[in-house]
Amino acid sequence: MRLARVAAVAAALVAWSGLILQYWILAGALGLGLASWRFVGFFTILTNIGAALVATAIGLGKDNRLAAPRARLMGLTAILTVGIVYSLLLRSTWNPAGLQKVADIALHDATPLLFAIVWALMPHGELRWGDVKWALVPPALYLIYAMARGAIDGWYAYWFLNPSTQTAAQLAASIAGVLGLFATIAAAAIALDRLIGTRRRSAEAG
């Protein structure tokens, strides 16, 4: 458990640092008002905030809902999806440099990896298959939020959620694909959680 707390501190520091750096870059380019509005429009940003909060709670040894198994599952599913979707659909669409490259790596690569390590080091065996639904809450809420924002100002954080650049069928397929990826990652995490929990209990009993 001590090793998990150390890893959690590292994950929290990387996530918070990446978030602060990304906000600073946006503020310099867009001004505080627009930067703040755009900043909270990205699922990557919101997910890194969530992962940072969970990691911080674990690192501080806080025994609360932020460090509970379901919260860890939600954080793991969301942050891994961020890394996977970015690598598959978004990384090739731009070529950041300098400090933007540092922020990019922190938010899309380092934090997902570190959070996965934290999750693996934590106690296991309490998740149930029905907990998949909890992992779908963040993306479902974000989809509603993102579409509402886009309807207001015409800006969409991700091209695959922009209804003006694709047909209704394509948009539905994009949304279904994202939710399907979340469900797949969550199910895999739950299966691994149950397996690790069973093996640890067997080892302790033996």
CA separation for the pair 146, 153 (Å, rounded): 11
Specify the pLDDT at position 89.
87
Half-sphere exposure of 52 (CA within 13 A, CB side): 18
What confidence score (pLDDT) does residue 62 get? 73
User: How far apart (Å, rounded) are the C-alpha atoms in residues 130 and 14?
Assistant: 31
pLDDT tens digits, residue range 102-151? 999 999 999 999 999 999 999 999 999 999 999 999 999 999 999 999 99
pLDDT in tens, 71-87: 999 999 999 999 999 99
Asked if 22 and 86 count as a contact pair (C-beta separation under 8 A), the reply is no
Under the banding of pLDDT at 50, 70 and 90, the label for residue 205 is low
Residue 10's contacts (CB-CB under 8 Å, 6 or more residues apart) are 114
pTM value is: 0.93
The pLDDT score that the predictor gives to residue 201 is: 75
Q: Which of 143, 124, 121 lies closest to 43, judged by CA?
A: 143
12-63 pLDDT, tens digit per residue, is 999 999 999 999 999 999 999 999 999 999 999 999 999 999 999 999 987 7
